[in-house]
Amino acid sequence: MRKEFIKGTIIFTAASALVISANFLFYFIGRYLSPEEFGVLASAISVLYIILIPEAIIKTIVTRVVAAEKKAQSRAFATYIYKKVSLVLIAFLLLYAVLFIPLKNFLHLESVLPLVLVGTVALYIFFRAIELGILTGRKKFAKASSIGIIEAVGKLLLGFGLVLLGFGVIGALVGIVIAGVISYLLSLFLARSYDTKNGIQFKKLFNKELIISVTVSIVVLNILIAVDVLIAKNKLSQLDAGLYSAVSTFGKLAFFGTSGIVTALFPLTSQKAKGSIKKKMFLLSSAFVALISAVVILIYVFFDEQLILLVFGDKYIGAGSFLWIGALAFSFYSIINLSIQYLISRSRYKFVAAASLPVVLIIIFSMLRYTTDISSLIYSFVYSTGVAALFLFIYSTTLKDEK
């Protein structure tokens, strides 16, 4: 199991590095947009993170089931999930349509078009999640990673190209949508299986507590990665919201740089094995997360203004001094994510469902209550995520061996 974890970590971390590099280059778009325009783009992408919640839920559940049950590693299983997910997609699209205008007003957007574009992503991400879940659950790490790489590179080439052609924020969002469609088609090809057995009672593979805990935790995690920019767009001036969006963009690199570790850990700790072995893997994963986060933070401490000038230009220079603090906040978020995923893999469903909601409410409340400028927003984000990360990490290390 440890060898598989190391292999998976190396593959996903290398893939994450490529994805981060492509995303890093993508955000050079900021040079061709004003801070106000970049604030619109960042807020639309934050809404996209929330739209991605169902994808993360479906992928996590499918990964957990496929990793634990070999009979779920078939195309018949995928067909079964497709039918169930189609109903969820219809309900989601109806709900999103109702929320168009309230979201537009909350984010102070002049047009509803950015929200329409990010909403179209729902037409394929639900089904891509099934394919990614099957690949990850079967521990096909290289294939699963390649899908993310193709999407990131496609987003860079298409989104950046359309911005350079003068299509602005809308061009960037169109590039994101097209790249996502390409990644879904690739996932269909890579996840195909030669096992087409029928007659299996797939319904019995799903645990109600698993579905509830995964749903609650993924909702919380995706809200946390998007909520800071949404609050900034609502509470700060258009200029400051744009500057904070640059800080948040750099900060998220600390999270995305460690996400491969979590992706590799989850299917392995979902397998049947001694709890002590799983705990050691969790601690090893935490050490890797801390190390990578520390490197990112140190880079931001010493090269803050240089990075801002390189990526966004002198219009964003006021954001430079906050980069390392943003990275610290998202490093804490990485620990929260790692701990929750580990607890789900250890079947601590009730605790995850009960603890996740208070965590997100405390973090959101602290930012809404104390935000008056960029500094107060980011420090309230750091303190609240830090406390939540410490609590979840300590609890995760106290789990007893499974009987």
Of 346, 338, 347, 349, the residue nearest 262 (C-alpha): 338
The per-residue DSSP string of 272-320 comes to S--HHHHHHHHHHHHHHHHHHHHHHHHHHHHSHHHHHHHHT-GGGGGGG
Q: Comparing 20 with 385, which gets the higher pLDDT?
A: 385
Q: Comparing 45 with 328, which gets the higher pLDDT?
A: 328
Q: Give burial (CB, 10 Å; 0-12/13-18/19+) of 280.
A: middle
**Dist. CA 178–CA 308, nearest whole Å:** 28
Question: How many Å is the Cα radius of gyration of the chain?
Answer: 20
Q: Comparing 100 with 71, which gets the higher pLDDT?
A: 100
Whether pLDDT at 202 is above 60: no
pLDDT level of residue 78 (50, 70, 90 thresholds): confident
**Dist. CA 41–CA 34, nearest whole Å:** 11
**Dist. CA 215–CA 392, nearest whole Å:** 18
Mean pLDDT of 57-85: 73
CA angle 118, 99, 37 (to 5 degrees): 45
**Dist. CA 153–CA 132, nearest whole Å:** 18
What the block records as the tokens of 156 is 């860079």
pLDDT level of residue 194 (50, 70, 90 thresholds): very low
pLDDT level of residue 3 (50, 70, 90 thresholds): low
Of 328, 330, 324, the residue nearest 305 (C-alpha): 324
**Dist. CA 322–CA 343, nearest whole Å:** 32
The per-residue DSSP string of 50-95 comes to HHTHHHHHHHHHHHHHHHH-GGGSSHHHHHHHHHHHHHHHHHHHHH
- Chain-wide mean pLDDT for the chain? 82
**Structure confidence by residue, pLDDT tens digits, 242-266:** 889 889 989 988 888 777 777 777 6
User: 150 in helix, strand or coil?
Assistant: helix
Q: What pLDDT sits at residue 275?
A: 54
CA dihedral 136, 360, 39, 175 (to 10 degrees): 20
**Structure confidence by residue, pLDDT tens digits, 167-186:** 989 999 999 999 999 999 99
Contact 151, 182 (CB under 8 A): yes
pLDDT level of residue 274 (50, 70, 90 thresholds): low
Per-domain residue ranges of the chain: 2-397
